[in-house]
Every structure is written in C-alpha cells, then in structure tokens.
Chain A
Amino acid sequence: MKHFIYKFLLLIIFPILVSCQDSVNDTELIDEEWLIPASEVYDGGPGKDGIPAITKPNFVENNSIDFMKEDDLIIGITVDGEVRGYPHPILDWHEIINDQINEKYFTITYCPLTGSTIGINRELDGNVTTFGVSGLLYNSNLIPYDRATNSNWSQMRMECVNGELSGKDFDFISTFETDWKTWKTLFPNALVVSSNTGYERRYTHYPYGSYKSDEALYFPITNVNNNLSLKERVHGIIEDNKVYAFRFNLFEGNNLLQKHIGGNNYLIVGSKEDNFIVSFYNTLGEGIELNFEFVEDSLPIILKDNEGNKWDIFGYAVEGSRKGQRLTPTKSLIAYWFAWGAFYPDISIIK
C-alpha cells in the first residue's frame, strides 16, 4: 500500500509542483517606457475595453430622457452652433463617448474616480480614430488609449504617456458641466445621449456606492492634499502646468470674478445654485478687453459687456455687434480636489 502512496506522490504531485512557478501571460503588450512612474499605474480590474467606450451614441431630446435625476450631472459641448449633452449616468458606465458633429470628430472622456471630464479632438495627425478605456489608472484617473496607435494617454495630465505618441498633448476641446435641472433650463431643445447605448446597463444606478461623497480612494495617488475635502468638486484653470482652483462657494451671491493671475486676465463665471463654473480669457482677438457684468436669470446668456453685447455659457456673443465672436475658453475642467492635488501639487486656491 505504501507503494501506492509513493507512486501517487511521484506521478501526480511532483509534476504539479515542478510546474508551479508563477507566470503571467498577457495578450496585451504594452511598451514598458512610461512618462509617468509605471509603478504608479494600476490595472483597475475590468481590463482593456472591460469598460466599453461608446462609439456610436444615440441622441434624443431632453424630454425623452427618463434616467436622469435633477441633481445628476451632465457635460455640455457646442460645435458649429449645435449643443449636445453627455450625462454622467451614461459616462459612469462607459467613461468614453466618441462622437462627431459635421466633420468635427471628438471624444468625451470622463473618469468617475476623479470626477473629471475632458473633450479631445480625435483626429490625430490627420487620421480620425476613436478612444477606448485601457483599464489602467494613474492617480486614480482614467488612462484612455487611442485605437490608431494603441498609445495610452493620461486624462488629467492631458498628454500621451506611453506608446508611439508619447509626449503628444491632447488637442483640448472645451466642455462645461452642470446638473440636469439647470441643463433643461439652458438648452430645452438640445440633444442628449440616450440610454440606448447598445449595452445593457442600469443607468439609474450609480456604480460606485457612496464614493462621490465619502473620503474613499481605491488606488494610491502620488500626493494627498488635505486642504479641502477630497471629493469637493473644484474648477481648475491650467496655465503653464500650474493650476488655479475655484471653489463653488465663491459663487454664492456673486457670479462673476475677474482675475489677473500669472499675466492673464480671466473671467470666471459661476453659480453655486445652478451648479456651473466656466472660465474665459478676457481678451478678444485684437487685444481688446471689455468690461463685463453678470446677467441674472437669462441662461444660457451669462454676461453682457460695455458695448451691449450678450455672451452665452460657451463664451459666444449671441447678441450685439460682436455676435458670433467667442471669448477664448481657458484650459479648464471640474474635478475632485484630491485629483487636482495629485496631478498638480502646487495648485493655488483662489479666494
């Protein structure tokens, strides 16, 4: 009988033990050269394309949307005079929507863990491509990949950090963020991405529990800045790799800030009640600077100037002699405070 035990051990167990070395086989080959520390890039879990980007969004009018609550957030963009909305409840599940208006090809990228949205031109070096979700994170922030070169991009760093296009900056497209209640007032006839995405998801269900309001971080970040609550939504203007942060509480009873910072004159317009902050350079093309004041109760018009022009939330003059001209949007977005602190440690909070 002992012979049987020995045979059992030798013939079955031994070969198993011999082959027991740890090993990894990954069909996804990634260049190991990164512009960011590779040791701080984490696989979020679902894998590449495990969170499916949308490449052919369907749109409906506001009144056909049934999955949005009044305080759900939505991203707005305008191209050639057309306004489109990209709801957070869709982006929470897909993170990336590739879209086009006329011949303008762009991508809305959104990271639910950093609360950040960035619009980018998806025409790279003259070739139209789409972006997908790599499944990787840096500073808890989305790393999209472009499907033309398979290069990986850091969303909040706004540049390609790995692959053939390493070092190339995002071609930034300005967006703005507000809640559903305000959106319907701003753009009652705009088109909004519908829940008919081609994927079965429960868009009324936020997939990250209490993450928006608690202090949880799921992945390590390079720098934890505790000057504000980690998940406070903050509007940041990026200028020469320096960030100027504007909190929503600046816009209680005051809707317009005109600031001279770092050699630039900025117009920062916001409303805590209506849940938006947008910012522009206060310089028109000819070096002209106008005097602005906030326009109450006229959304989407938010400003009027000393020449009598009226300007909308995207910065376009919609009335007056300058109709059609646009205030240059800043390179800015809203993101959770911890993300700003992680990417831009010397961030300044404007008071």
Chain B
Amino acid sequence: MKKIILILILLLESNLFGQACCTAGTPLLSSLETSSTPFQNLQIGLSYRYNSIASIYINDSQLDENSRERLSQTLIFQIDYGIWRNVSITALFSYVQHERIVLSPLGGENLLDTKGIGDALLLVKYNVIPLNILDEMEFSVGGGVKVPFGESQLTSNGLLIPADMQPGSGSWDFLGWLYFSKGRLFDLPLTVVSNLSYRINGTNNRFEVEGFDYKFGNETIAQVGLAYKTDFISDYSLFLRYRNAQADISRGFQIPNTGGDWVYLVPGINFKIDNSKTVRLSGEIPLYINVNGTQLTTSFTTTLAFYYSINL
C-alpha cells in the first residue's frame, strides 16, 4: 500500500484552481491531475501557487509592453479520502489574493489588491481500473461541482471591482474528469500520465441587474506527461498541458478579449520526506499562447505543495 501511495504522490499536482489569468480572472478549476485515493487512505495537501500575469498578447503575438501586471496567489487546502474500494472523494478549499498593478504615466503605480476565501471544489472519483502493484495501470473517471464560496461583489471606494479581481466567480460550475496512468514503461520506474477535464460554467449576477448575467467561458484541460521515480529523495515529472477557454458570455454575446488556447510545459520535482510526506515544486512555462483578441496573460506560474498521506 505504501508503494502505491508513493506513486500517487509522485503523480500529484494539486492545481485544481490553478489558472487565474485574465481570460476569466477568478480562480478557476484548471487541471485535475490527482489520481484517485485508495480505500481508507487520507491525503491532505497544502499548496501555494504564484501566477505572474504580465504578458500582453494579441492572438499569438506578444507585445513589447510592460505597463500592466497582474499577480494571483492561491493557497489550496486539499483533502482526498477513499470512501469505498473504487470510490474516493476530493475536497478543495482556496484562499486567493489578486493584485493589479498599472504603471502611472505620472510616475509610481496604481495598485489594487484583493484577497479572500475563494471557491471550493467537491469531486467524486471512480476507479474503473484500480491501481495495482503488478502493472501499475489506473483509469479513473470523476465528476464534481465548484461551489461559489468566494465573494464576487467586493467593492473599492464604493465601486464594484472587476470580476477577474474578485476572490470568487459567483457561479456554480460543473466538472467532468478522466485520468489514466501506466507505470513500468520500458521496465523503468517511469509512468505515463494523462488526464482530461472539462468545466461547464454557470452564470453569476454580480451586477444585480436583470439581463446582465455573466458566464465565464467553459474550459478544457488536457495533459500528458511522464513521471520518473527514483530511489533517492527526489522524483521528477514533466508534463505537457493544453488549456482551452471559450469566450465569456453576457446577454447572449461573446465578450471580446476573453478565451483562447494555451500550451504549457510543466516540470515538477517531488522531495520525499518519508513514506507519507512529500514536498512538491512545479511550474508552468508557456510554450504557445493564442488568445482571442488582446489579453494580459500568464507569464509563468510556480507551485510549492506539501502532501501528507495516511491509512486510517
């Protein structure tokens, strides 16, 4: 069992809320990379994610422009528990800080900083093919809901702050998820991992004006990569992540300058403190960006996470 747990932790990446770029702004479900959790196993994770949003793109061309920047920092507390032999649940709770920095033409900068409890995720996973020691193959499916715990109507100076600066999205969203992994590739401690998630967003009514509901664009995340386990303190992984966000919608019309396609390289390293505790460091490096219209978008992200696993 401990070996299985180690494999799971190696594959773990907790950025369930990860992407907070200007396409949608509020912390969103970005990627679901966790595999399912064995029966009666409890995993607890705490991760910190730093997302620098400072690149301005027109479609796939980057502008030489540095007068604006966004930072998004997210703390995520994650609990996974195997409730039955093939069924596990995941719950995530987030705390979000957004910063908007605009360089003033008169010198200095204008800073807007918001922070607060973000939205939460509840996910149920079913092991179609449970992970076993022999062939180290696993296939899981899942579905969940994002609960709008986060405030989406914060104001500054009495004025409503933009949606992408709010801690929460204000909408109930629904998520489908697939996960596949196969270990012992080439008889090496090498595992191929892929997953796919699709999020259907609900609408919010942050303006509280009839007819002005707002819907963030639905989002698809597909990811494939390799994880390499060593007998030393550190394990390694390298993923390719594709993200597509549809344009946001208001009053039945697509909002320009929202949505697009992103491809990231996601390197990661796990440090095994012992059989139950792991520290993971990972990042996202954009390889390809093609946004709709003009957008301020992610320059890079870094995530530092701690995971603890125990059989109850």
B98's closest neighbor in chain A, by CB? A24
A114 to chain B, nearest CB (A): 16
Verify A147–B106 contact, CB threshold 8 A.
Answer: yes
List residues of chain A with CB within 8 A of the CB of B115. 22-23
Closest to A44 in B: B162
Known A29-B157, A30-B159, A209-B293; contact A46-B109, beta-carbon cutoff 8 A: no
Kindly list chain B residues whose C-beta atoms are within 8 Å of the C-beta of A46: 68, 102
Interface residues in A191-238 (C-beta closer than 8 Å to B): 199-202, 205, 207-211, 214-220
Interface set, chain B 220-261, CB cutoff 8 A to A: 250-251, 253-257
Interface 1/0 per residue, A150-188 and B, CB below 8 Å? 000000000000000000000000000000000000000
Q: Are B77 and A13 in contact (CB under 8 A)?
A: yes
For the complex, is B182 an interface residue (Cβ under 8 Å from A)? no
Which one of A49-57, A242-250, A275-283 is at the B interface? A49-57
Residues of A within 8 A of B106 (CB): 147
State whether A28 and B105 are in contact (beta carbons under 8 Å apart), knowing that A22-B167, A202-B58 are contacts in the complex.
no
CB-CB under 8 A from A39, the residues of chain B are 160
Stretch at the interface among B27-35, B148-156, B281-289: B148-156
Contacts of A241 in B (CB 8 A): none
- With contacts A28-B157, A32-B157 known, is A200 near B250, CB below 8 A? no
Q: Give the Cβ gap from A58 to chain B, nearest Cβ, in Å.
A: 16
Q: Indicate whether A26 sits within 8 Å of B156 (C-beta atoms), given known contacts A20-B116, A47-B112, A207-B256.
A: yes
Q: Which residues of B contact A29 (CB under 8 A)?
A: 157
Q: Is B187 an interface residue (CB 8 A)?
A: no
**A284 surroundings in chain B (CB, below 8 A):** none
Chain A residue with the shortest CB-CB distance to B161? A43
Q: Choose, from B4-12, B59-67, B130-138, the stretch at the interface.
A: B59-67
Contact between B164 and A214 (Cβ–Cβ < 8 Å)? no
Q: Flag B116-135 by CB within 8 Å of A: 1 or 0 each.
A: 11000000000000000000
Asked whether B95 is an interface residue with its Cβ less than 8 Å from the other chain, the reply is: yes
| Given A45-B162, A218-B250, A207:B294 Cβ within 8 A | yes
**A288 CB–B CB distance under 8 Å:** no
Is A216 in contact with B58, judged by CB distance below 8 angstroms? no
Decide: A47 and B110 in contact? CB cutoff 8 A.
Answer: yes
Q: Which residues of B contact A43 (CB under 8 A)?
A: 156, 159-162
Q: Does A295 contact B (CB under 8 A)?
A: no
Bound-state CA distance A219–B105 (Å) is 27
B77 surroundings in chain A (CB, below 8 A)? 13, 16
B310 touches which of A1, A25, A136, A216 (Cβ 8 Å): A1
CB distance from B89 to the nearest CB of A (A): 18
- Does B112 lie within 8 Å of A28, measured CB to CB? yes
Chain B window 77-111, contacts with chain A (Cβ cutoff 8 Å), 1 for yes, 0 for no:
10000000000000000010000101111100111
> Measured between C-beta atoms, what is the minimum distance from B81 to chain A in Å?
13
CB-CB under 8 A for A23 and B114, given A46-B68, A209-B254: yes
User: Whole-angstrom distance between the alpha carbons of A71 and B311 in the complex?
Assistant: 70
> In the complex, are the beta carbons of A8 and B44 less than 8 A apart?
yes
Cα A12 to Cα B113 with chains together (Å): 23
Judged by a CB distance under 8 angstroms, whether B50 is at the interface is no
Q: Please, how many residues of chain A have a CB less than 8 angstroms from a CB on the other chain?
A: 54
Q: How far is the CA of A199 from the CA of B310 in the complex (A)?
A: 56
- Write the chain B residue with the least CB distance to A50: B102
- Contact check, A20 vs B95: say whether CB atoms are below 8 A apart: yes
Give the dominant DSSP class at B's interface: strand
Report the bound CA distance from A52 to B112 in whole Å: 17
A8-B308, A50-B68, A215-B253 known; A55+B111 contact, CB < 8 A: no
B114 proximity list for chain A (CB < 8 A)? 22-25
Q: Which of A5, A24, A200, A211 contacts B156 (CB 8 A)?
A: A24
The smallest C-beta distance from A104 to any residue of chain B, in angstroms, reads 22
The reply on A119 being an interface residue by CB < 8 A is no
Taking the complex as formed, is A127 at the interface, i.e. its CB lies under 8 A from any CB of chain B?
no
| Cα A5 to Cα B162 with chains together (Å) | 38
Complex interface residues of chain B between 32 and 69 (CB less than 8 A to chain A): 44, 46, 58, 61, 63-65, 67-68
| Interface residue? B271 (CB, 8 A) | no
> Does B1 sit within 8 A of A, measured CB to CB?
no
* Contact, CB under 8 Å: B159 / A136: yes
**Is there a chain A Cβ closer than 8 Å to B212's Cβ?**
yes
- Cβ–Cβ contact A55 & B116, under 8 A: no
Q: Which residues, 10 to 40 on A, are CB-close (under 8 Å) to B?
A: 12-13, 16, 20-30, 32, 38-39
Distance between A168 CB and nearest chain B CB, rounded to angstroms: 21
A208 contacts B256, C-beta separation under 8 Å: yes
B110 touches A27 (CB 8 A): yes
User: Within 8 Å of chain A (Cβ to Cβ): is B188?
Assistant: no
Residues of A within 8 A of B154 (CB): 22, 24
Whether A25 and B256, one on each chain, are in contact in the complex, defined by CB atoms closer than 8 angstroms, is no
Is B75's CB within 8 Å of the partner chain A?
yes
Contact with A along B158-173 (1 / 0, CB 8 A): 1111101001000000
Cα distance A214–B110 when bound, in Å?
34
Question: Which B residues are in CB contact (< 8 Å) with A42?
Answer: 159-160, 207
Complex CA gap A219/B63 in Å reads 27
Give the most central of A12, A22, A205: most B CB within 10 Å.
Answer: A22
A124 proximal to B (CB < 8 A): no
7 pairs, CB–CB < 8 Å, chain A vs chain B: A8-B44, A25-B112, A47-B110, A49-B102, A207-B256, A220-B207, A220-B212
Where the two chains meet, the residues of B that have a C-beta atom closer than 8 Å to any C-beta of A are 44, 46, 58, 61, 63-65, 67-68, 75, 77, 95, 100, 102-106, 109-117, 151, 154-162, 164, 167, 207, 209, 212, 250-251, 253-257, 293-294, 308, 310
Q: 10 shortest A-B CB distances, which residue pairs?
A: A22-B116, A209-B256, A216-B253, A30-B157, A220-B209, A25-B113, A26-B156, A47-B102, A45-B162, A27-B111
